[in-house]
Amino acid sequence: MIFYPVLFALIATMALALARALLGPSLYDRVLAVNMFGTKTVLFLAVTAFMLGRPDFLDLALAYAAINFIGVLAVLQFFQSREIRQRYERQGR
């Protein structure tokens, strides 16, 4: 029972982050929302693992934390390569 409030809070926050991801408006807002969604998922999984009585499943939360970080850096690199491409294309025209 002690896990319910925090789980509800996490789900609500996930929904809020999702709303931000849908609304945008800028790309960066979406990335922010996705990153936040990811960290909340990590917490959600950690809490659920305890709620289900299987703390050995914390591995999942760990994996998410790592993947989430890589995802954000991939996005950053994507922005950068896009910037360069656009600058290049502007020069080319």
Partner 1 sequence: MTLIFGVFLLILLVIVALAIVRSEDLFAAVMLSGIFSLLMAVNFFLLDAADVALTEAAVGAGVATVLFLGALALTGKEEARHTVSPGGRWLALGVSFATASLLFYASLENPHIGDGSAPVHQHVAPWYLANTLPLIDIPNVVTAVLGSFRGFDTLGEVFVVFTAGIGVMSILGVRHSLVELSGAELDARQRSLRHHLIPRIVGRGMVPLIMLFALYVQFHGEYSPGGGFQAGAIAAAAIILYSLLEGDDRGRELLPEWLLRLMVAGGALLYGGVGLACVLLGGNFLDYSVLATVPSAGQHLGLLLIELGVGITVTGVLISVFHAFARRASR
Partner 2 sequence: MAILAYFNYWVFAVLLVIGLYAVIAKTNLVKQLIGLSIFQGAVFLLYISMNKVEGGTAPIFLNGNTERIFSNPLPQVLILTAIVVGIATTALGLAVVVRIREEYGSVEEDDIKAQDVGS
Partner 3 sequence: MASVIDMISFALLAAGGFCVFVGGVGVLRLPDLYTRMHAASITDTAGPLLVLAGLALQAGWSLALFKLAVILVFLAVTAPTAAYALGNAALVSGYRPAVVSDESGATDSEGEGHA
Could you list the residues that contact partner 3 (CB under 8 A)? 2-3, 5-10, 12-17, 19-20, 25-26, 28-29, 31-33, 35-36, 39-40, 42-43, 46-47, 50, 55-56, 58-59, 61-62, 65-66, 68-69, 72-73, 76, 79-80, 83
Per CB under 8 A, which of residues 64..93 are in contact with partner 1?
64, 66-71, 73-78, 80-82, 84-85, 87-88
Query: Tokens at residue 1, please?
Result: 């029972």
Q: Based on the number of CB atoms within 10 Å of its own CB, is 40 exposed (0-12), middle (13-18) or buried (19 or more)?
A: buried
50 binds partner 1 (CB under 8 A): no
Residue pair 33/68 in contact (Cβ under 8 Å)? The answer is no
- Report whether 60 contacts 45 (CB < 8 A): yes
Q: Which residues bind partner 2 (CB under 8 A)?
A: 52-54, 56-57
